[in-house]
Protein backbone atom coordinates (compact mmCIF):
# COMPACT_ATOMS: atom_id res chain seq x y z
CA UNK A 1 0.00 0.00 0.00
CA UNK A 2 1.14 3.55 -0.61
CA UNK A 3 1.45 6.02 2.22
CA UNK A 4 1.56 9.32 0.38
CA UNK A 5 -1.34 11.01 -1.27
CA UNK A 6 -0.53 13.77 -3.72
CA UNK A 7 -2.95 16.50 -4.54
CA UNK A 8 -3.87 17.36 -7.21
CA UNK A 9 -3.44 14.26 -9.36
CA UNK A 10 -2.97 16.50 -12.40
CA UNK A 11 -2.13 20.18 -12.79
CA UNK A 12 -1.94 22.27 -15.96
CA UNK A 13 -0.63 25.86 -15.87
CA UNK A 14 0.88 28.48 -18.15
CA UNK A 15 4.60 28.95 -18.43
CA UNK A 16 5.82 31.49 -15.92
CA UNK A 17 3.16 30.69 -13.33
CA UNK A 18 3.87 29.00 -10.02
CA UNK A 19 2.92 25.37 -9.42
CA UNK A 20 2.03 23.98 -6.01
CA UNK A 21 1.70 20.30 -5.24
CA UNK A 22 0.69 18.81 -1.90
CA UNK A 23 1.46 15.53 -0.22
CA UNK A 24 -0.07 13.90 2.84
CA UNK A 25 1.21 10.82 4.65
CA UNK A 26 0.09 8.55 7.45
CA UNK A 27 2.93 7.37 9.67
CA UNK A 28 5.95 8.89 11.41
CA UNK A 29 8.78 9.63 9.07
CA UNK A 30 12.52 10.19 9.14
CA UNK A 31 12.46 12.51 6.15
CA UNK A 32 10.37 13.40 3.11
CA UNK A 33 11.72 13.64 -0.40
CA UNK A 34 10.42 14.92 -3.71
CA UNK A 35 11.28 13.29 -7.03
CA UNK A 36 10.56 14.13 -10.66
CA UNK A 37 9.94 11.58 -13.41
CA UNK A 38 9.83 12.30 -17.13
CA UNK A 39 7.77 10.03 -19.38
CA UNK A 40 8.01 6.87 -17.29
CA UNK A 41 11.79 6.95 -17.00
CA UNK A 42 14.01 7.03 -13.94
CA UNK A 43 13.34 9.25 -10.96
CA UNK A 44 15.36 12.40 -10.40
CA UNK A 45 15.88 13.48 -6.79
CA UNK A 46 14.82 17.09 -6.22
CA UNK A 47 14.99 17.82 -2.53
CA UNK A 48 15.06 16.13 0.88
CA UNK A 49 13.59 17.69 4.00
CA UNK A 50 14.21 16.20 7.40
CA UNK A 51 11.49 15.62 9.97
CA UNK A 52 12.92 18.39 12.18
CA UNK A 53 12.93 20.94 9.35
CA UNK A 54 9.99 23.09 8.29
CA UNK A 55 11.10 24.65 5.02
CA UNK A 56 13.80 24.14 2.45
CA UNK A 57 14.77 25.89 -0.77
CA UNK A 58 16.68 24.74 -3.85
CA UNK A 59 16.76 27.08 -6.83
CA UNK A 60 13.15 27.56 -7.98
CA UNK A 61 11.91 24.87 -5.59
CA UNK A 62 10.49 25.45 -2.14
CA UNK A 63 9.38 22.60 0.09
CA UNK A 64 7.52 22.84 3.36
CA UNK A 65 6.87 20.13 5.91
CA UNK A 66 4.25 20.12 8.66
CA UNK A 67 4.72 16.99 10.75
CA UNK A 68 1.74 17.84 12.99
CA UNK A 69 -0.52 17.67 9.94
CA UNK A 70 1.56 14.99 8.23
CA UNK A 71 1.74 17.03 5.06
CA UNK A 72 4.22 18.63 2.72
CA UNK A 73 4.07 20.96 -0.26
CA UNK A 74 6.32 21.54 -3.24
CA UNK A 75 6.28 24.94 -4.91
CA UNK A 76 7.90 25.47 -8.30
CA UNK A 77 8.22 29.17 -9.10
CA UNK A 78 8.39 30.72 -12.57
CA UNK A 79 7.56 27.41 -14.26
CA UNK A 80 9.13 26.41 -17.57
CA UNK A 81 8.04 23.96 -20.27
CA UNK A 82 10.91 21.69 -19.18
CA UNK A 83 9.22 21.31 -15.77
CA UNK A 84 6.52 19.19 -17.41
CA UNK A 85 6.78 15.83 -15.63
CA UNK A 86 5.28 13.71 -12.86
CA UNK A 87 6.24 14.70 -9.32
CA UNK A 88 6.28 12.24 -6.44
CA UNK A 89 6.65 12.69 -2.74
CA UNK A 90 8.32 9.85 -0.88
CA UNK A 91 8.62 9.35 2.84
CA UNK A 92 11.88 7.98 4.12
CA UNK A 93 11.28 5.23 6.64
CA UNK A 94 13.82 3.12 8.47
CA UNK A 95 12.38 -0.33 9.20
CA UNK A 96 15.47 -2.47 8.90
CA UNK A 97 15.82 -1.23 5.36
CA UNK A 98 16.04 2.46 4.61
CA UNK A 99 13.10 2.49 2.22
CA UNK A 100 11.07 5.10 0.42
CA UNK A 101 7.28 4.96 0.38
CA UNK A 102 5.90 6.85 -2.62
CA UNK A 103 2.59 8.50 -3.35
CA UNK A 104 0.82 8.21 -6.67
CA UNK A 105 2.22 11.45 -8.03
CA UNK A 106 1.05 14.68 -9.58
CA UNK A 107 1.19 15.03 -13.34
CA UNK A 108 2.31 18.61 -14.07
CA UNK A 109 1.88 20.12 -17.54
CA UNK A 110 3.37 23.53 -18.36
CA UNK A 111 1.75 25.12 -21.39
CA UNK A 112 3.92 27.48 -23.47
CA UNK B 1 22.71 11.30 -14.77
CA UNK B 2 23.01 9.45 -11.47
CA UNK B 3 25.62 6.87 -12.41
CA UNK B 4 23.18 4.04 -11.74
CA UNK B 5 22.76 1.82 -14.78
CA UNK B 6 20.20 -0.89 -15.50
CA UNK B 7 19.89 -3.55 -18.16
CA UNK B 8 18.06 -4.36 -20.27
CA UNK B 9 16.05 -1.25 -21.11
CA UNK B 10 13.04 -3.19 -22.33
CA UNK B 11 12.02 -6.81 -22.03
CA UNK B 12 9.07 -8.86 -23.24
CA UNK B 13 8.27 -12.20 -21.62
CA UNK B 14 5.34 -14.58 -21.55
CA UNK B 15 3.39 -15.68 -18.50
CA UNK B 16 5.14 -18.39 -16.51
CA UNK B 17 8.65 -17.49 -17.67
CA UNK B 18 11.49 -16.23 -15.49
CA UNK B 19 13.36 -12.95 -15.83
CA UNK B 20 16.57 -11.43 -14.48
CA UNK B 21 17.13 -7.69 -14.32
CA UNK B 22 20.49 -6.11 -13.57
CA UNK B 23 21.67 -2.96 -11.83
CA UNK B 24 25.05 -1.32 -11.32
CA UNK B 25 25.13 1.04 -8.39
CA UNK B 26 26.71 4.47 -8.25
CA UNK B 27 30.36 4.51 -7.28
CA UNK B 28 30.80 4.49 -3.51
CA UNK B 29 27.26 3.27 -2.80
CA UNK B 30 26.94 -0.07 -1.05
CA UNK B 31 23.17 -0.34 -0.78
CA UNK B 32 20.80 -1.21 -3.60
CA UNK B 33 17.01 -1.05 -3.50
CA UNK B 34 14.52 -2.30 -6.07
CA UNK B 35 11.12 -0.76 -6.79
CA UNK B 36 8.22 -1.77 -9.02
CA UNK B 37 6.21 0.96 -10.72
CA UNK B 38 2.96 -0.02 -12.40
CA UNK B 39 1.56 2.28 -15.05
CA UNK B 40 0.11 5.45 -13.52
CA UNK B 41 1.25 4.53 -10.00
CA UNK B 42 4.09 5.50 -7.72
CA UNK B 43 6.99 3.09 -7.20
CA UNK B 44 6.59 0.35 -4.61
CA UNK B 45 9.49 -0.99 -2.56
CA UNK B 46 10.40 -4.59 -3.36
CA UNK B 47 13.55 -5.14 -1.29
CA UNK B 48 16.95 -3.74 -0.36
CA UNK B 49 20.41 -5.31 -0.32
CA UNK B 50 23.35 -4.31 1.82
CA UNK B 51 26.63 -6.21 2.01
CA UNK B 52 25.18 -8.96 -0.16
CA UNK B 53 22.33 -9.63 2.28
CA UNK B 54 18.65 -8.76 1.99
CA UNK B 55 18.17 -5.85 4.35
CA UNK B 56 14.39 -5.47 4.20
CA UNK B 57 11.48 -6.48 2.02
CA UNK B 58 8.19 -5.00 0.89
CA UNK B 59 4.91 -6.79 0.29
CA UNK B 60 6.08 -8.97 -2.60
CA UNK B 61 5.85 -12.78 -2.88
CA UNK B 62 8.93 -15.04 -2.65
CA UNK B 63 9.04 -15.47 -6.44
CA UNK B 64 10.66 -12.02 -6.37
CA UNK B 65 14.25 -12.60 -5.29
CA UNK B 66 17.54 -10.81 -5.57
CA UNK B 67 21.26 -10.88 -5.26
CA UNK B 68 23.97 -8.38 -4.51
CA UNK B 69 27.53 -8.99 -5.61
CA UNK B 70 30.84 -7.95 -3.97
CA UNK B 71 31.09 -4.96 -6.33
CA UNK B 72 27.63 -3.87 -5.04
CA UNK B 73 25.87 -4.51 -8.32
CA UNK B 74 22.58 -6.35 -8.02
CA UNK B 75 20.10 -8.61 -9.77
CA UNK B 76 16.33 -8.89 -9.45
CA UNK B 77 14.87 -12.26 -10.39
CA UNK B 78 11.19 -12.90 -10.92
CA UNK B 79 9.94 -16.48 -11.37
CA UNK B 80 6.60 -17.68 -12.74
CA UNK B 81 5.80 -14.34 -14.32
CA UNK B 82 2.24 -13.09 -14.12
CA UNK B 83 0.51 -10.49 -16.27
CA UNK B 84 0.45 -8.08 -13.30
CA UNK B 85 4.24 -8.14 -13.17
CA UNK B 86 4.25 -5.87 -16.21
CA UNK B 87 5.80 -2.67 -14.90
CA UNK B 88 8.82 -0.41 -14.82
CA UNK B 89 11.44 -1.85 -12.47
CA UNK B 90 13.67 0.74 -10.87
CA UNK B 91 16.93 0.23 -9.09
CA UNK B 92 18.27 2.80 -6.62
CA UNK B 93 21.59 3.00 -4.86
CA UNK B 94 22.54 4.83 -1.70
CA UNK B 95 25.31 4.97 0.85
CA UNK B 96 24.54 3.21 4.10
CA UNK B 97 24.79 4.92 7.40
CA UNK B 98 23.02 7.85 8.93
CA UNK B 99 19.29 8.33 9.18
CA UNK B 100 18.90 10.14 5.87
CA UNK B 101 18.57 8.09 2.74
CA UNK B 102 18.66 10.04 -0.48
CA UNK B 103 18.47 7.39 -3.16
CA UNK B 104 19.78 7.66 -6.70
CA UNK B 105 17.69 5.94 -9.34
CA UNK B 106 18.61 4.27 -12.58
CA UNK B 107 16.59 4.70 -15.79
CA UNK B 108 14.58 1.52 -15.19
CA UNK B 109 13.74 -1.66 -17.07
CA UNK B 110 10.34 -1.83 -18.75
CA UNK B 111 9.01 -5.40 -18.41
CA UNK B 112 6.01 -6.52 -20.43
CA UNK B 113 4.43 -9.89 -19.66
CA UNK B 114 2.16 -11.30 -22.35
Query: For residue range B69-99, what is the model confidence (pLDDT) as tens digits?
Result: 998 899 999 999 999 999 999 999 987 654 4
Strand, helix or coil at B84? helix
pLDDT averaged over chain A?
91
Total Cβ atoms within 10 A of residue B78: 24
Phi, psi of B50 (to 5 degrees): -140, 130
| pLDDT over 70 percentage in chain B | 94
Give chain A positions within 8 Å (CB) of B106: 42
* Residue B30 DSSP class: -
Is the pLDDT at B11 greater than 70? The verdict is: yes
Count Cβ atoms within 10 A of the Cβ of residue A57 and give its class: 0-12 exposed, 13-18 middle, 19 or more buried: exposed
* Residue B41 DSSP class: S
Query: For residue range A77-98, what is the model confidence (pLDDT) as tens digits?
Result: 999 999 999 999 999 887 777 7
Q: What is the pLDDT of residue B92?
A: 93
Is the pLDDT at A47 greater than 60? The verdict is: yes
Pairwise CB contact (< 8 Å): B106 & A99: no
Q: Does B55 touch chain A (CB under 8 A)?
A: yes
CA distance A63 to A78: 15
Give chain A positions within 8 Å (CB) of B97: none
**DSSP codes of every residue in chain A:** ----EEE-SEEEEETTS-EEEEEE--S--SEEEEEEESTT--EEEEEEEETT--EEEETTEEEEEETTTTEEEEEE-S--GGG-EEEEEEEEEEESEEEEEE---EEEEEE-
Amino acid sequence: SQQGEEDPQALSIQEGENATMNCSYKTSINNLQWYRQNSGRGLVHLILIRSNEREKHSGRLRVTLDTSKKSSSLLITASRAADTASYFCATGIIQGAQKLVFGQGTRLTINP
Amino acid sequence: ETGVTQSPTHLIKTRGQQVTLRCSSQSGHNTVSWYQQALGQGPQFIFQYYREEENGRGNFPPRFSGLQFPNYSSELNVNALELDDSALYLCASSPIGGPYNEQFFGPGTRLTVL
